Structure 1
């Protein structure tokens, strides 16, 4: 059995907003398409890449991302904390777009460790607002110049999504 270990410095981006966490959850839901998770799609044997691209294009939200899953830590944290505790407003969204992911995965399948994106949304410890936290894709994904360029495109798409959520009246 072979084992290798590599080190990376991953940048963690944190945006802060005075918006209540429930409002942020709703704004994210409006930005990303909800429906059957893409992981539930079954590949018909005769689908072409163009047909798949059309299927993806109609399934993504305003942000260009699609909901894959979420993990609501707040639900189980209520067992240990009061429901109004800011720690009880904590959710990890898993979101992505297979057409964007393809630009990375076709170059290096190991990028799948960081694609789809995980966006952590949590109430601020003081209870006054919300933080949105994620790993900067380009800091987590290694590769050649084309790979880095594709990761930087993903960086900007995630940042645009988060900025639209925390500044809902601002048009980007």
Structure 2
């Protein structure tokens, strides 16, 4: 069989919340909400060592500590950008990867390509003047292509709703 290529164009939605809260406050709240202290390498250990569904579920549920998500990792862009540009006033910028394999499986069971967008990411970006923070993420329901699969669409929308609840909780807001 010869190699083939297909291209699907689609439009996603990027969501930005802006808050007067300081970057350090927002990052501390987010890290607590996704249980950073228990996440990271522990997530990968559970995923790599669980011998059955029950062990995997128990391990992930322990790491989420009653929440929807657990911390996977982060990339602090401001750190390397300060080095690269030599600009010490570079706004703090951290991209967090967080998620829940038990939620991810609700989409991956329909289409493994959904794994391109789970676990999700979220960026915290300090305002240039240091006064406040932006919380930025791409809406998974607009990125995970359901191809007409109603169950996959519902699962992606459920993930989007959970992320919005997480963000609003971190910002001390409620859904309208």
**TM over 0.5, yes or no?**
yes
Residue 115 of structure 2: aligned partner? 112
Asked whether the equivalents of residues 91 and 130 of structure 2 are also in contact (C-alpha less than 8 Å), the reply is no
Q: Determine whether 1:23 maps to 2:25.
A: yes
Higher helix share: 2
Gaps of 5+ in 1: none
Gaps of 5+ in 2: none
- The count of corresponding residues between Structure 1 and Structure 2 is 167
* 1:147-162 alignment, distance < 5 Å: 147-162=152-167
Q: Determine whether 1:11 maps to 2:13.
A: yes
Asked whether the equivalents of residues 13 and 133 of structure 1 are also in contact (C-alpha less than 8 Å), the reply is yes
Q: Determine whether 1:73 maps to 2:90.
A: no
| Inter-CA distance 39–51: structure 2 relative to 1 (3 Å threshold) | closer
CA RMSD of aligned residues (A): 2.0
- TM-score by structure 1 length? 0.89
Deviations 1:85-135 (A, max 9, x none): 2x4300000000000000000110000000000001101233320001111
Residue 127 of structure 1: aligned partner? 130
- TM-score by structure 2 length? 0.87
Runs of 4+ in 1 over 3 A off after TM superposition: none
